[in-house]
Amino acid sequence: DVKVTQSSRYLVKRTGEKVFLECVQDMDHENMFWYRQDPGLGLRLIYFSYDVKMKEKGDIPEGYSVSREKKERFSLILESASTNQTSMYLCASRLGIGESSPLHFGNGTRLTVT
Amino acid sequence: GQNIDQPTEMTATEGAIVQINCTYQTSGFNGLFWYQQHAGEAPTFLSYNVLDGLEEKGRFSSFLSRSKGYSYLLLKELQMKDSASYLCAVFDSNYQLIWGAGTKLIIKP
């Protein structure tokens, strides 16, 4: 089974702090994704990556950046956390671009910015 | 714009059958996914449809009509553990996933 691991289940940060969310997958998947999930809204794509060193903006990239230095690891960075970034963050991976393979999700990080 | 519509919430009785609908308007179509998400947990893959018709997988079945932009997830012999949110997602022409807001299913004894 694919395992996607997010480093923290819960985080509480202060406004203005730099926040790092880490995600590791163990199935050699090319594609990795960061979503945020808020009540009443569908999953919204922040950034994704097709391969190492590659990144693409999703629907809501403002206030975020990402890093993919190794194939198995995809990090989401909040440069200066704000209260409107309080949310559930979900990392996911899947096999490859053009493949109709499902996303595999990590357990999520619930971030609270105070 | 691209849009996926699902009912916000549904209630059903343990042992019964429930159908969760999903309608979509997307730029192209390369398949439709259903995911289950229990409260506080990650979404888990349930089914994938790319051709018209019904796909059955145990107590769960998923139906697709591409001409109507419509899918449904059918859950039979409902169990309390089926209480969860059910997410519909469509691959558009660029293989980007478009997500619905999810349907919260409440199962009552």
Interchain CB distance below 8 Å, A108 and B48: no
Task: State the nearest Cα–Cα gap between B49 and chain A, in angstroms.
Answer: 10
> For residue B19, what pLDDT is reported?
98
d(CA B6, CA A40): 11
Å from A7 to nearest chain B CA? 14
State whether A42 and B95 contact (CB < 8 Å): no
Give the tens place of pLDDT for each residue, B61-102. Answer: 999 999 999 999 999 999 999 999 999 999 988 778 899 999
The residues facing A89 across adjacent strands are A36, A109
pLDDT of residue A14: 97
B41/A103 CB distance under 8 A: no
What's the pLDDT at A74?
97
Q: How far apart are CA A29 and CA A66, in angstroms?
A: 17
> What pLDDT does residue B95 have?
76
Say if residue B108's pLDDT is above 80: yes
Residue A97: what pLDDT?
63
C-alpha distances in Å from residue A71, one per residue of A4, A67, A68, A105, B66: 13, 11, 7, 16, 35
Per-residue confidence band for B8, with pLDDT thresholds at 50, 70 and 90: very high
Question: Is residue A19 classed exposed, middle or buried when 0-12, 13-18 and 19+ CB atoms within 10 A define those classes?
Answer: buried
Q: Inter-chain contact A102–B41, Cβ cutoff 8 Å?
A: no
**A-chain residues near B30 (CB < 8 A):** 100
Percentage with pLDDT > 90 across chain B: 84
- Per-residue pLDDT, A99: 61
Dmax (CA) for chain B in angstroms is 43
Enumerate the residues of chain B whose CB falls inside 8 A of the CB of residue A104. 45
Q: Which of B 29-88 lie inside 8 A of A, CB atoms?
A: 30-31, 33, 40-45, 48, 50, 87
> Has residue B105 got a pLDDT over 90?
yes
Longest dimension (CA), chain A: 40
Q: Which residue type sits at B72?
A: Y
> For B86, which residue in chain A has the nearest alpha carbon?
A42
Q: What is the pLDDT of residue A39?
A: 87
Question: What does the mean pLDDT of chain B come to?
Answer: 94
Rg of chain B, C-alpha, whole Å: 13
The segments of chain A whose pLDDT lies below 50 read none
Among chain B residues, the shortest Cα distance to A107 is held by: B42
